[in-house]
């Protein structure tokens, strides 16, 4: 799980920066939204350790993240 979290955090930071997020706010945003990216990545990947997020938590975070990062969800181009 640790490797997945680290990769998701890096990707999340890149996504947020590309979407124009304020550089000073990105670390806090990554702390909040990395599970969204990890959830996308874990599809078809064996995760060692327990997945600590509920379906409801991921759904709520995903909805917020899709508003911030237009390459996700309905805002995708």
Domain boundaries, the chain: 2-75
**Is there a contact between 3 and 42 (Cβ–Cβ < 8 Å)?**
no
CA dist., res. 13 & res. 42, Å (int):
18
Reported as type and span, the H/E element at residue 63 is helix 55-68
pTM of the predicted structure, to 2 decimals: 0.76
| Average of per-residue pLDDT across 68-77 | 63
Residues with Cβ within 8 Å of 62's Cβ and at least 6 positions away in sequence, in order, are: 36, 39, 72, 73
Please give the pLDDT value at position 40: 86
Three-state secondary-structure class, residue 17: helix
How many angstroms separate the Cα of 10 from the Cα of each of 35, 54, 74?
12, 22, 23
The tens digit of pLDDT for each residue in 29-59 reads 999 999 999 988 877 555 667 778 888 898 8
């Amino acid at each position: 799980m640790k490797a997945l979290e680290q990769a998701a955090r890096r990707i999340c930071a890149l996504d947020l920066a590309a979407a124009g997020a304020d550089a000073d706010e990105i670390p806090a945003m990554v702390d909040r939204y990395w599970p969204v990216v990890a959830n996308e990545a874990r599809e078809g990947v064996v995760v060692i350790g327990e997945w600590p997020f509920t379906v409801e938590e991921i759904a709520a975070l995903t909805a917020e993240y899709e508003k911030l990062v237009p390459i996700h969800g309905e805002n995708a181009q």
